[in-house]
Structure 1
Amino acid sequence: MQIIRGHYLKMLIDIHVHSDNSSCSVMPASEIVARARSLGLDGVCITDHDTTAVLSQIQEGFQPDGLLVLVGMEYSTDEGDFLVYGDVESLVPGMDGRALLTSVIETGGAVVAAHPFRGWRPSDTGLFQSYPPSAIEVVNGRNTEAEDAQALELACHLALAHVSGSDAHRFDELGRFPTRFTCPISDRVDLVNALRQGMCRPGVLRSAALASAS
């Protein structure tokens, strides 16, 4: 995190990361925490699929190396997948998209529409007109450029905040597409407020991340 005259110039947090508590990931939570700072991240939010089991394996908050570690959840519904931040421990399982969006916002959380145009698991984006999420993931590490372009067009059309996420399941994916926050983040409350107030934007362009990996 860079600080100029007491102001935060940037804070890069990868807000879409899966530990091996998600069956699709090979990354132990302890290793995510150990490696993330060296990748240039200021923070990482572990968002496993429909579980907060990782809370028993890590300590949230700032780590000795300065990395901020937070826990969210990727919540699956028939209307799409949603990244949820805030009091994720209290989420009721089995909600549909409408109930989830309503519940999270009413209880003071933040919800991001994850990869809404992914070809094999698209979201019901018509839902967002009446039940808008806090933000839309317009850059996703596992999306195609075309899928991201559709997400960006939707976010602009609905005037919703833009975020990016690595959707990391392997260590070579971790930290590639963080979100840049323009305000200090020190806990879940700060993260929720920043997302709800739109104090965020994609931190790395897809072309730059792909070039650095080649």
Structure 2
Amino acid sequence: MKFDLHVHTSISPCSQLPLEDIIAQAKERGLSGVCITDHDTMEVRHFLQEGLQDNGLCVIFGMEYATGEGDFLLFGPYEQLQPGLAAPELLRHVEKTGGIAVAAHPFRGSRPTREYLIDHGLCGIVEGINGRNRQHENDSVSSWRDRYGVKQVGGSDAHSLEELGRVTTRFQQPIRSRDELINALKNSSYTPERS
């Protein structure tokens, strides 16, 4: 199954991507699912039912949560997550509540993920390929894979229709819900891929 784990709708102030276009185009581009990860909100839940859509696409809600020590894709019960948490506090909360956090674009120059969060085991999954990163930013992730054994996913970080599905994560088992995604990210193997 191919999922784009990092997609922004027009709910994010920096995105021009309508939700309806994501649903219509993702399936045509060979995706099994998309994760809506708007900036610091899961407001999308007010406009769409999470899960399998009429066209067979699985839509899962998450969010991209910004901290001063990096951005994180969060999947779990975070519809009402308090803003402004420091990264260690956020990551401990995610672990405690059974969710999962992915370090988003960890080597992006504007707001990189602090290495101690990986070194201390607070985050064990990183976005190994981000569709909006420069090549050297994606290539740098291999140092953490080699040093810390972190798992890697891929996501387009789509803010426009042209970017949707450019980078995906391939899972070996079916994913039909947020819980199944969390379980797969914690317990299964997967690989980031460029389209």
TM-score tier after normalising by the smaller chain length = over 0.9
Is the contact between residue 37 and residue 61 of structure 2 (CA under 8 Å) also seen in structure 1? yes
TM-score (norm 2): 0.96
- Between the aligned partners of 1:154 and 1:162, the Cα distance in structure 2 is 10
Identical-pair percentage: 46
Gapped regions of structure 1 (runs ≥ 5): 1-10, 210-214
- Between the aligned partners of 1:127 and 1:51, the Cα distance in structure 2 is 23
Q: What is the aligned-residue RMSD (CA, Å)?
A: 1.2
Among candidates 155, 161, 166, match of residue 156 of structure 2: 166
Q: Corresponding residue for 1:212? A: none
TM-score (norm 1): 0.88
- Between the aligned partners of 1:192 and 1:178, the Cα distance in structure 2 is 16
Equivalent position SS for 1:48: coil
- Between the aligned partners of 1:58 and 1:38, the Cα distance in structure 2 is 19
Q: Corresponding residue for 2:109? A: 119
Among candidates 128, 133, 140, match of residue 123 of structure 2: 133
1:25 maps to 2:53: no
Among candidates 65, 70, 80, match of residue 60 of structure 2: 70
Amino acid at match of 1:51: T
Pairwise CA distance, 1:156: 2.9
Pairwise CA distance, 1:123: 1.5
Equivalent position SS for 1:108: coil
Moved over 2 A (4+): none
Q: Corresponding residue for 1:8? A: none
Equivalent position SS for 1:192: helix
- Between the aligned partners of 1:64 and 1:106, the Cα distance in structure 2 is 34
- Between the aligned partners of 1:160 and 1:198, the Cα distance in structure 2 is 13
